[in-house]
A = this chain, B = another copy of it.
Amino acid sequence: MFEDKSQELTPISKLGEFGLIKHLTEHFSLSNASSEVGVGDDAAILSSENKKVVITTDILTEGVHFNLGYVPLKHLGYKAVVVNLSDIAAMNATPTQILVSLAVSNRFPVEALEEIYAGIHTACKKYNVDLVGGDTTSSNSGLVLSITAIGFENEDAIVKRTGAKPNDLLVVTGDLGGAYMGLQILEREHAVYLSNPNMQPEMEGYDYILEKQLKPEARTDIKNILKELDIKPTSMIDISDGLASEILHISDQSKVGFRLYEEKIPMDSLSISTADEMNLNPVMTALSGGEDYELLFTISPNDFDKIKNHPDFTIIGHAVEKEDGNFMVARGSNQLVALTAQGWDAFLNNQSN
């Protein structure tokens, strides 16, 4: 659970609820003009500066969203923030505040929470986001992290899931499938460790995909890149559950269908070779793996020239009429494969527990 195994541990009950919140949040300062009052009152006070409020929340539970057997607590705190910031980025808005609620069993000492908050702090610094509130309490078992993220944005800049039109181009940032392959490596090596604790895990050479899984980044940079290119997407979503699932969400809410070209899906060579090594179809890891936290969006075909050679973006398909449905055009043929939402699903994954 800890990077330093030799430290002395403090039971949470020693500090009590208020002492604990104070202890964990005292190193957080407010840096955004919109953060007027943070932790310490009944509620935080934020200034909207005449913009719209964009707000989202995600809850992460131990054993479902993360396994503390191989996820360092610092990374967990970091990632829990990032997945929420990614949702704000997916509205083409900039996140500025978070609220963090934590429920922990007494098996966690204060030092464990310090590690989580160290990761939260690192994420706040990196993304210039202020921690303005939250709640810390005990649970009878396990660790639950619930984070709310807020951004303020001019109405005309905000991008919803609803604006895609037939013939719009479908664009994705970065590359896909890496986070899922990183998870496969972590689970494989964790299983080896459990069967023989003296075995050294074989993590070497997998750095890129391990980092995509353990320390993903939110694409808060994309908003500015698009602005510089003078592009406003017609719809946008972040890829948390796998490319196929996200395409179906935009399809559903924009009332269009999509054609996705298999050969265009961007994947890192390490993701592909690791999938091959584990007898997985690399394209399936991109379609259904999830947790990439890249952005998926549609743009007008008139914007094609602005984006076509940009290193951050890949055009992977286009929108069609709703009744033409959602299909992937298979590599090297014109065969159409129906897109289905086999994305990562917290309830289905957990059925065997």
Contact = CB atoms under 8 A, between A and B. Distances in A.
Interface of A: 12-13, 15-18, 20, 36-37, 40-48, 50-65, 87-88, 90-91, 93, 99, 101-103, 106, 132-135, 137-142, 144, 146, 148-151, 158, 160-162, 236-238, 253, 341, 345-348, 350-351, 353
7 contacts: A16-B345, A17-B347, A18-B341, A62-B139, A103-B144, A106-B353, A138-B346
A350 B51 CA distance: 43
Nearest to A91: B43
A54 B43 contact: yes
B103 A59 contact: yes
Residue of A88, A93, A142 with most partner-chain B CB within 10 A: A142
Nearest to A56: B43
Contact of A43 (B16, B88, B138): B88
A55 B148 CA distance: 10
A16 to B, nearest CB: 5
B99 A55 contact: yes
Contacts of A348: 13, 16
Contact of A42 (B20, B42, B56, B150): B56
B148 A99 contact: yes
Contacts of A13: 347-348, 351
Contacts of A52: 36, 45-48
A240 B150 CA distance: 26
Contacts of A144: 59, 61, 103, 139, 144, 146
Given A42-B237, A45-B158, 13 more contacts: A18-B341, A41-B253, A42-B91, A42-B161, A44-B56, A53-B53, A55-B132, A55-B148, A56-B99, A58-B135, A59-B103, A61-B103, A141-B142
A30 B155 CA distance: 19
A333 to B, nearest CB: 31
Contact of A133 (B55, B90, B350, B351): B55
A228 to B, nearest CB: 22
A133 to B, nearest CB: 6
A189 to B, nearest CB: 22
A43, A59, A90, A351 — which one has the most chain B CB atoms within 10 A of its CB? A43
Contacts of A59: 101-103, 135, 137, 144, 146
A17 B346 contact: yes
Contacts of A53: 45-48, 53, 150
Nearest to A97: B55
B56 A350 contact: no
A86 to B, nearest CB: 8
B139 A42 contact: no
A50 to B, nearest CB: 6
Nearest to A240: B42
Contacts of A56: 42-44, 99, 133
Given A50-B50, A87-B42, A347-B16, A138 B57 contact: no
